[in-house]
Amino acid sequence: MRGLILGTMILGVAAGQAVAQEAPRGPLFISPMGEPFRGPAPHDQWFDGADANHDGVLSMEEMIADAERFFATLDVRKDGEIDPQDVERYETEVVPEIRMRPPRERQGYRVGDSMVGPRGGEGGPKQVSTRKREEPKKGAARFSYLDYPQPITVADRNFNRGVDIREFVRAAEARFALLDKNGDGKIPKSELPAFTPSR
């Protein structure tokens, strides 16, 4: 019996490694609705797939259809809701890169409004600039056009820890409006923000 269990475990690890080796490599892009795309020009992969009629422009209807398609892949139990188990799967299996990293410990100490570095130079501690730096993007925001660290759970409008299709569609509408800078109801690629792959 032990041999059977051990053999099964070894096969499971080997299969997991094979899947990991076959996973697409390259830059990661996370679509406005949270779907990951990897490989060359991943943002173009998303846009070209969402642009159902291939006219080079995204409409609100295409954005919603893209959101509904992705919702169906996240709702594993097909119960009409992305529940906490689905969110856990999304964060650990679908796109683990968005998991929040623990913040780096600050080195040094504060003197008045300035941070003093851990090493002093001649004449005392080294002063660090007190200018406010832009906060680095977190989670999925590092790989996306929009600043949503977790693009699935932020769609939960009633805070019940689940996202139903109505909430997801409303999120798609809101995100379309954010990306449609000139408000003309269509988004050509040229209207989208520049995408710089993050590592």
pLDDT computed for residue 161 by the predictor: 92
Closest CA to 74 of 168, 171, 172: 168
pLDDT computed for residue 32 by the predictor: 97
pTM score, whole prediction = 0.70
Give yes or no for a contact between 175 and 62, defined as CB atoms under 8 angstroms apart.
Answer: no
Q: How far is CA 137 from the centre of its chain?
A: 11
Closest CA to 62 of 73, 78, 47, 51: 51
CATH architecture classification, 25-96+136-192: Orthogonal Bundle (1.10)
**Which structure tokens are listed for 12?**
């499971």
> What is the rounded distance in angstroms from the CA atom of residue 128 to the CA atom of residue 121?
12
Q: What is the DSSP letter of 32?
A: T
Could you list the pLDDT tens digit for every one of the 199 residues in the chain?
A: 555 444 444 444 444 444 344 445 679 999 999 999 999 999 999 999 999 999 999 999 999 999 999 999 999 999 999 999 999 999 999 999 988 654 443 344 444 444 444 444 434 444 444 555 667 788 999 999 999 999 999 999 999 999 999 999 999 999 999 999 999 999 999 999 998 766 5
pLDDT computed for residue 195 by the predictor: 84
pLDDT computed for residue 71 by the predictor: 98
Closest CA to 108 of 129, 123, 135: 129
pLDDT computed for residue 196 by the predictor: 78
Where helices occur in 25-164 by DSSP H, the ranges are 42-50, 60-74, 84-89
Where helices occur in 31-129 by DSSP H, the ranges are 42-50, 60-74, 84-89
> What is the rounded distance in angstroms from the CA atom of residue 86 to the CA atom of residue 92?
10
